């Protein structure tokens, strides 16, 4: 089976964007591919989390991966820092990454603009660590969004550069991968871009949110004063609500509110109430599992250890071969 690698940064709870945009497909992939799904706690160090926050955030993601349907018997779920071979490969790849190409990375330039007081080396070499995450398992398929495609291209560059430098076609080329249907882009509640943790607390609906929290967030979603002509094009903030409804509501519900909008009879309060209830129903099974799994410390410990052993088997094999290719020899 071909190898798939993907990770999610441990920066807090997972939201509907993570679930419908990625994890739902992970659950399907695990039956047909050799899947490695990791929690990227090393990547999260660029923002300097406290030790308590770091551990708590890793636990949140691990619990929610499991609650969403990723099976540790079918896929390898592991915590990035439990596999030290990744850090070793990161070191080797850094030796072949050039300042100019790292400084041209779009995400690095964005981070510098957003956080001018925290321009650390980890941000600069973020694409190198991402490459190590992928290359350590010699993955060929990587489920990524548009915003990560440049990083994936850089992973190919670093792998190919290693192959040329040592005259050994060792690393295969990884490519972006969309399993089955195309990835779903989940908009946020702030009327702007996609749903995300960094856009503010009210922008994202989390898988662990209580029904009350979901209702409160959805009722605060940005709207306008309503349509002024029949069948007019919906502004972005209104289209976002309909796009969310497309994901969590029935086709009949969506058609009903679409018709009300097109005939200028829409009441946004009714739309939001319906959307909130449909989100609550859609997330209820996951929310119940989150609560059960989070309380089962022995099971979480077992999953993390089992995943680390499986991931390290693959990673150790790669590091052994890479060291031999580079020329490290024991005396």
Q: Which residues are annotated as a binding site?
A: 9-11, 17-18, 133, 145-147, 186, 194-198
Whether the CB-CB separation of 242 and 188 falls below 8 Å is answered with: no
Annotated binding site for ATP: 9-11, 17-18, 145-147, 186, 194-198
How far, in Å, CA of 66 to CA of 154, rounded?
Answer: 30
How far, in Å, CA of 109 to CA of 102, rounded?
Answer: 10
How far, in Å, CA of 237 to CA of 242, rounded?
Answer: 9
Distances (CA, A) of 313 to 62, 130, 137, 248, 307: 20, 19, 10, 39, 10
Is residue 197 annotated as part of the catalytic site, yes or no?
yes
Question: Which tokens is 330 given?
Answer: 């024991």
Integer Rg of the chain from CA: 22
Among 38, 51, 109, CA closest to 77: 38
The phi and psi torsions of 45 (rounded to 5 degrees) equal -65, -20
Q: Tell me which of 74, 138, 192, 197 is the catalytic residue.
A: 197
The phi and psi torsions of 261 (rounded to 5 degrees) equal -65, -45
CB atoms closer than 10 angstroms to residue 289: 17
How far, in Å, CA of 41 to CA of 21, rounded?
Answer: 20
Annotated binding site for L-tryptophan: 133
Is residue 111 annotated as part of the catalytic site, yes or no?
yes
How far, in Å, CA of 159 to CA of 179, rounded?
Answer: 24
Q: Tell me which of 194, 234, 273, 310 is the catalytic residue.
A: 194
How far, in Å, CA of 171 to CA of 166, rounded?
Answer: 11
Catalytic residues: 111, 194, 197
């Amino acid at each position: 089976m071909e190898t798939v690698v993907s990770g999610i940064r441990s920066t807090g709870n997972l939201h509907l964007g993570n679930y419908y945009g990625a994890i739902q497909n992970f659950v399907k992939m695990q039956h047909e591919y050799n899947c490695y799904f990791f929690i990227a706690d090393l990547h999260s160090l660029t923002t300097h989390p406290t030790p308590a926050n770091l551990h708590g955030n890793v636990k949140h993601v691990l619990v929610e991966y499991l609650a969403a349907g990723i099976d540790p018997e079918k896929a390898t779920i592991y915590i990035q820092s439990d596999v030290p071979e990744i850090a070793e490969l990161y070191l080797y790849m850094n030796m072949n990454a050039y300042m100019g190409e790292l400084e041209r990375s779009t995400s690095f330039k964005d981070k510098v603009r957003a956080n001018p007081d925290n321009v650390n080396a980890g941000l600069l070499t973020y694409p190198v660590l991402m490459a190590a995450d992928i290359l350590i398992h010699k993955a060929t398929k990587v489920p990524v969004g548009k915003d990560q495609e440049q990083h994936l291209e850089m992973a190919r560059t670093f792998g190919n550069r290693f192959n040329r430098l040592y005259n050994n076609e060792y690393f295969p080329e990884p490519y972006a991968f969309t399993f089955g249907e195309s990835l779903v882009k989940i908009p946020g509640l702030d009327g702007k871009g996609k749903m995300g943790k960094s856009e503010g607390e009210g922008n994202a609906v989390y898988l662990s949110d209580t029904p009350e929290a979901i209702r409160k967030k959805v009722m605060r979603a940005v709207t306008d004063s309503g349509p002024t002509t029949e069948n007019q094009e919906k502004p972005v903030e209104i289209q976002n609500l309909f796009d969310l409804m497309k994901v969590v509501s029935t086709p009949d519900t969506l058609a009903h509110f679409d018709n009300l909008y097109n005939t200028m009879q829409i009441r946004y309060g009714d739309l939001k109430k319906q959307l909130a209830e449909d989100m609550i129903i859609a997330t209820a099974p996951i929310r119940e599992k989150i609560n059960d799994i989070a309380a089962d410390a022995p099971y979480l410990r077992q999953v993390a250890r089992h995943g680390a052993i499986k991931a390290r088997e693959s990673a150790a094999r790669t590091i052994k071969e890479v060291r031999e290719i580079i020329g490290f020899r024991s005396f």
